Amino acid sequence: MEDEISLREIIELLLKWKRIIIALTIGAAAVAALVSIFILPEVYTATSTIKIDPPVTIRVPELDTGEIAQDNRIIVLDNSAFKDLQLTKSVTPQEIKLQVANPDFLEKINQEIGQDISAANITVEESTNNFNDKANNAESLDIKVPFPEYLDITVSADSPQIAAAAANAIAERLPLQLEELINQEREQQNEILTTQIEKIKKQLNEARQTKAYGSPNKTQEAEARIAALEKIYTGLLMKYEEEQVIGSVETSGRNPSLVSPAAVPASPVKPRTAQNVAIAVVLGLMAGVFLAFFIEYWRSSAPQEEPLAEQGS
């Protein structure tokens, strides 16, 4: 029980060393304020909001056994079956994040705004605005209607004008970047389809020549091969025509589109001077209390010197 310290002793100890505790607390707060105001760089953030529209689809006749290919054209004999043809490619938030971090894309943005913005200064997240309320209400009512998705593009920079300019430049150039990639993919797809169509067409002509001038055994084999090649040829031709329709249709607007441009921020988000000072006050207070207890412990545990009279005897 003798080793226990009463609350009164703790209070007396803190009052005894209150000057040190107060000095450390004020000193820590002053250092934090000076560092936040004069040393730490200011960081501004600007946010633009983009809208990702659902893909545009149309109803087209579905490939059926009643359809045949003649002279590079599809003749539909029975159009009772239809399917959805997607005219615009669906863009996902993940694809947008990848393109925003693309070095080539960032180089174009930096050239446009005249500053260097890295991928580390850009974040793409689901919008915190109320744009998605309509879609959320539809989901709660089990209404299956494709609603657009909204994303926030936030850019941080040491200048408010640069942050706003970069956020708007990214949101405006992003549709063009995605459109270029989609067109490149479409051109490659068309080249592959054209090559395959020509190859199957050549094989089909050879099979027809064999059927016309070959022996009876080869004629039967040629008929089976012609039937198989015609189905493949018709399927490739249908796919090729679908790609031509997609490429020729002009869709309104761009996807994604800018719906809320970034405004120039009025104040920086960093450094948070008040928060830094508050943390420094707490740390300074803790350090002062610890130092007070340490000094008191060091003095009380020091060995006491014996009186000179006792040493002489």
C-alpha span between 284 and 297 (Å, rounded): 20
Q: What mean pLDDT do residues 105-134 have?
A: 84
Residue 5, pLDDT above cutoff 70: no
Whether residues 54 and 169 fall in one domain: yes
What does the pLDDT read at residue 275?
95
Whether residues 22 and 107 fall in one domain: no
**Does residue 276 fall inside a structural domain?**
no
Top-confidence residue, 26 or 297? 26
Q: What mean pLDDT do residues 169-183 have?
A: 89
For residue 39, with 0-12 CB atoms within 10 Å meaning exposed, 13-18 middle and 19 or more buried, which class applies?
exposed
Q: Contact, 85 vs 246, CB < 8 A? A: yes
Q: 41: which 2 tokens?
A: 């760089």
Q: Name the E strands within 117-223.
A: 122-126, 149-157
Q: What mean pLDDT do residues 144-169 have?
A: 86
Q: What mean pLDDT do residues 302-306 have?
A: 64
What does the pLDDT read at residue 251?
55
**Does residue 294 fall inside a structural domain?**
no
Whether residues 13 and 103 fall in one domain: no
Whether residues 166 and 198 fall in one domain: yes
Neighbours of 192 (CB within 10 A): 12
**Does residue 279 fall inside a structural domain?**
no
Whether residues 96 and 183 fall in one domain: yes
Whether residues 148 and 185 fall in one domain: yes
Q: Contact, 51 vs 259, CB < 8 A? A: yes
Residue 4, pLDDT above cutoff 50: yes
Whether residues 45 and 16 fall in one domain: no
**Mean of the per-residue pLDDT values of the chain:** 81
Whether residues 51 and 23 fall in one domain: no
DSSP readout, 244-263?
HHHHH---SS-SSEEEEPPP
215 φ/ψ angles, rounded to the nearest 5 degrees: -75, 165
Domain of residue 116 covers 41-270
**What is the domain-level CATH number for residue 158?**
3.30.1890
Residue 76, strand partner residues: 67
Min mean pLDDT across 128-142, 143-157, 222-236 is at: 128-142
Q: Classify the C-alpha dihedral 142-147-152-153 as positive or negative.
A: positive
Number of domains in the chain: 2
Min mean pLDDT across 54-68, 69-83, 124-138 is at: 69-83
Top-confidence residue, 109 or 4? 109
Closest CA to 170 of 127, 123, 129: 123
Whether residues 64 and 81 fall in one domain: yes
For residue 207, with 0-12 CB atoms within 10 Å meaning exposed, 13-18 middle and 19 or more buried, which class applies?
buried
Whether residues 31 and 73 fall in one domain: no
Whether residues 198 and 232 fall in one domain: yes
DSSP readout, 154-174?
EEEESSHHHHHHHHHHHHHHH
**Does residue 284 fall inside a structural domain?**
no
**Does residue 228 fall inside a structural domain?**
yes
**Does residue 178 fall inside a structural domain?**
yes
Q: What mean pLDDT do residues 43-57 have?
A: 88
**Does residue 283 fall inside a structural domain?**
no
Give the CB-side neighbour count of residue 116, counting CA atoms within 13 A: 0
Q: What mean pLDDT do residues 118-147 have?
A: 64
What does the pLDDT read at residue 283?
96
Whether residues 110 and 238 fall in one domain: yes
Residue with tokens 């008040």: 274
Pairing of strands 149-157, 67-70: unpaired
pTM of the complete model beyond 0.85: no
Q: What mean pLDDT do residues 285-296 have?
A: 93
**Does residue 229 fall inside a structural domain?**
yes
Residue 162, pLDDT above cutoff 90: yes
